[in-house]
Amino acid sequence: MPTSLMSTAWELRYGAQVVSGGVSFRVWAPTLDRLAVRILGRQPSTIPMRQDAGGEFSVTVPGIGEGTDYQFLLEGDRLRPDPLSRWQPHGVHGASRVVDPRSFSWADSSWKGVPLKDFVTYELHVGTFTPEGTFEGIIARLPYLQDLGITAIELMPVVEFPGGRNWGYDGASLYAPQSTYGGPAGLKKLVNACHELGMAVVLDVVYNHLGPEGNYLPDFVPCFTDAYRTPWGKAINFDGPESDGVRRFFLDNALYWLSEYHVDAIRLDAIHGIFDFSARHILEELAEAFHRESLHLGRQAWVIAESDLNDVRIINPRHIGGFGIDAQWSDDFHHALYTVLTDDREGYLMDFGSLDDLAKAICDGFVYDGTYSRYRRRRHGNFSRGRSGEQFVVCIQNHDQVANASKGTRLASLVSWEQQKLAAALLLCSPSLPLLFMGEEYGETAPFLFFTSFGDANLAEGVRCGRKAEFAAYYAEEEFPDPQAKATFRRCKLDWARVSRQPHSNIFCLYRDLLWLRRQHASLNNCRKDLARVIFDNQAKWLVMTRADPSGEAAMLICNFSANSQSIPVAANGRHWKLVFWTGDSIYGQMSPPTPPGDFASHRSDENLVVVGPFSATLYLHTGPKGTEEQGGANGN
């Protein structure tokens, strides 16, 4: 990296900045002819701002500092919050408050981040994760997550949204942490506490649309374009007239979370809703800027994308024409495993349902890599086998899949306890990066539903009716959960009392033990998809995944997806295999456990029959000297 690119740390130039003797205000507003800042307090005052040729308005107001509330006065006597407000203590429609980022005392000066391949991510929603529903409420649960084996927490979007109940994807003030969660100080305390325990923080950010209530950015800048449409309405203007300043707004936002809040990664929501046909795509520019600044800060930091495109260019490095994004959510693993467990084939799940799909998701990444999709009625995706497992974030549950694919019903309420344990074993032993959804680790049964608290009655009714129509086939009239109802939100709160009760405590123990094994053994944590091999039998419903490491260590997970015990043929490949884990162990809640499977090694036929119980998995390790490594891949009957 050239020294010139790293010589100066990034700082937020726009919004309100505390300077010597006062506060400097700067706004890019090319659509306005006049702008003033109104300083609130005992004696409110309105100060006109100077405009330059580039559409920037600025003024420095002496005698004020951190904690000052202010608004911008636009033409037509319209009072608006700062589009780059660091804090909206009175909600999305209220005044902004000046925050000095230097006033928080960080204790993570030695923090260097977590290597991407070591990410075990725990996705949570701040409002429903704890009874308090706040950033600081999470801090008390961090030792629990550390004991479980979590290395990174992922926060669903936390920027200021209307009211106090929302998933966060309706964010209005993209620089202001949600006031009801604890505002800027609360989020910084949480990040600080995570780093003290060696855990990274991933922040979910939304750059594909703006919230429908309280987002006043369009009053200042031409942030929308009519050239494209998204599922949420007009697309963000990343490549049209005046798009340079719009791009800067979102690029600065990513660097803001990295710099001022010390986050370790951002997860870009639904990038298939980001359209940019300029010569340099906004996602490429964002990834490069983010990596450059993290290098300057001396920390490892990552960009992770959510995409349903199955396009490997997203995670390919820039030197071969990719965007240089570090990793992406890969839903194909979830869909393949979920359909095998549940037989659900609704909607996009119609494209999945066999162990072939699951094997391909493990060894390649994308199941649809240019093959025909019945759901889309066209070919979909491209080839991803050459990318490392650490570039694919996989799960058996996440907020979207629980709420949208199964009426808010978690896996614990859809399948048996044994099937849950089988799914967990396959997830945590796969060569990709595992993501857990809050409560999954103890079999939480509280639903996770869509909820909102819009103040605009017409908008609230529109969302209610739209959601009801979209999911009409899934709900009877009397069952539909009203997104605006407080009761819908309250139903989604985790029940922490379950953690200490069986069988929930048994499930927690299983997750903790599997994550411990993953940490301890290179063959389970090296993310080497190229050294993963899967064989399976669709008719008999068994699957065997073997993972290897250049050190000579190897792991073998034998999975029985049928309701009957069966003898599964496996090859020892010249190794001695020691049993280290099986889901049928009594400590994981099996009331009448079968005889545990034993160790095995090569013999004359080099084929062994391992008896595996119904919906069970056994994990074997070989820790002897290095042998001949097999090329990874999938083979089935």
pLDDT digits 0-9 by tens, 156-211: 999 999 999 999 999 999 999 999 999 999 999 999 999 999 999 999 999 999 99
Half-sphere exposure of 587 (CA within 13 A, CB side): 10
Name the phi and psi angles at 261, rounded to 5.
-115, 0
Contact of 306 with 293, CB cutoff 8 Å: no
The CATH architecture one would assign to domain 532-636 is Sandwich (2.60)
Which tokens belong to 571?
């090859």
Per DSSP, the residues of 378-431 read: EEE----TTS-GGGEEEES--HHIIIIISTT--GGGTS-HHHHHHHHHHHHHSS
Contact of 139 with 168, CB cutoff 8 Å: no
Query: Which of the residues 306, 351, 400, 418 is marked catalytic?
Result: 306
Contact of 575 with 621, CB cutoff 8 Å: no
306 is catalytic: yes
Q: How far is CA 287 from CA 117, 255, 324, 336, in A?
A: 18, 10, 6, 30
Vertex 263 angle, CA 262 and 269, to 5°: 150
Confidence at residue 63, expressed as pLDDT on a 0 to 100 scale = 95
Contacts within 8 Å (CB) and 24+ apart, 278-285: 278/238, 278/239, 278/243, 281/323, 282/207, 282/238, 282/247, 282/250, 282/251, 283/314, 283/323, 283/325, 284/318, 284/322, 284/323, 284/324, 285/247, 285/251
Confidence at residue 630, expressed as pLDDT on a 0 to 100 scale = 55
269 is catalytic: yes
Contacts of 180 (CB under 8 A, 6+ apart): 127, 133, 134, 164
By residue count, the chain amounts to 637
**Interhelix angle 355-363/331-342, nearest 10 degrees:** 150
Contact of 554 with 572, CB cutoff 8 Å: no
Which tokens belong to 292?
């450059």
The CA R_g of the chain, rounded to the nearest whole Å, is: 26
**Residue 496 burial (CB count, 10 A):** 15
545: which strand partners?
A: 534, 557
Q: SS3 for 338?
A: helix
State the DSSP code for 298: T
Query: Which of the residues 269, 311, 331, 530 is marked catalytic?
Result: 269
CA distance 336 to 353: 6
Which amino acid makes up residue 569? P
Beta strands 233-236; 327-329: pairing state? unpaired
Q: What is the pLDDT of residues 271-314, one digit of tens each?
A: 999 999 999 999 999 999 999 999 999 999 999 999 999 999 99
Contact of 403 with 156, CB cutoff 8 Å: no
Task: Give residue 280's Cα distance to chain centre.
Answer: 25
Contact of 479 with 408, CB cutoff 8 Å: no
Which tokens belong to 462?
């529109």
Confidence at residue 3, expressed as pLDDT on a 0 to 100 scale = 35
Distance spanning both ends of the chain, measured CA to CA: 50
CA distance 57 to 47: 12
Which tokens belong to 194?
């995570």
**Interhelix angle 417-429/331-342, nearest 10 degrees:** 150
The CATH architecture one would assign to domain 118-510 is Alpha-Beta Barrel (3.20)
**Interhelix angle 243-260/282-297, nearest 10 degrees:** 30
The CATH architecture one would assign to domain 3-103 is Sandwich (2.60)
- Mean pLDDT per 10-residue segment, the chain (637 residues): 53 97 97 97 93 96 97 96 98 98 97 98 98 98 98 98 97 98 98 98 97 96 94 93 97 98 98 96 98 97 97 97 97 97 92 97 98 97 97 97 86 96 98 98 97 95 87 70 95 97 97 98 98 97 98 97 95 91 92 73 72 95 68 72
**Which one, of 276, 296, 295, 298, lies nearest residue 285 by Cα?**
276
Question: Look-up: residue for tokens 């064989």?
Answer: 535
- The answer to whether the 3-103 and 532-636 domains have the same CATH topology is yes
Q: What mean pLDDT value characterizes the chain?
A: 94
**Residue 502 burial (CB count, 10 A):** 10
Question: Look-up: residue for tokens 């639903």?
Answer: 447
Strands (E), 100-223: 121-124, 152-155, 159-160, 173-177, 200-205
Confidence at residue 590, expressed as pLDDT on a 0 to 100 scale = 72
* Residue 603 CB burial class (10 angstroms; 0-12, 13-18, ≥19): exposed
Q: What is the pLDDT of residues 307-363, one digit of tens each?
A: 999 999 999 999 999 999 999 999 999 999 999 999 899 889 999 999 999 999 999
123: which strand partners?
A: 154, 437
Domain ranges of the chain: 3-103, 118-510, 532-636
Q: What is the largest CA-CA distance in the chain?
A: 92
Q: How far is CA 557 from CA 5, 420, 533, 549, 570, in A?
A: 47, 16, 11, 15, 10
Alpha helices in 70-134 (DSSP H): 126-129
Question: Look-up: residue for tokens 């795509």?
Answer: 281
Question: Look-up: residue for tokens 């309105």?
Answer: 46
Confidence at residue 467, expressed as pLDDT on a 0 to 100 scale = 84
State the DSSP code for 614: T
Confidence at residue 628, expressed as pLDDT on a 0 to 100 scale = 47
Contact of 326 with 302, CB cutoff 8 Å: yes
Contact of 426 with 557, CB cutoff 8 Å: yes
Which amino acid makes up residue 393? V
CA distance 521 to 325: 27
**Torsion of the alpha carbons at 18, 139, 156 and 300, rounded to the nearest 10:** 70
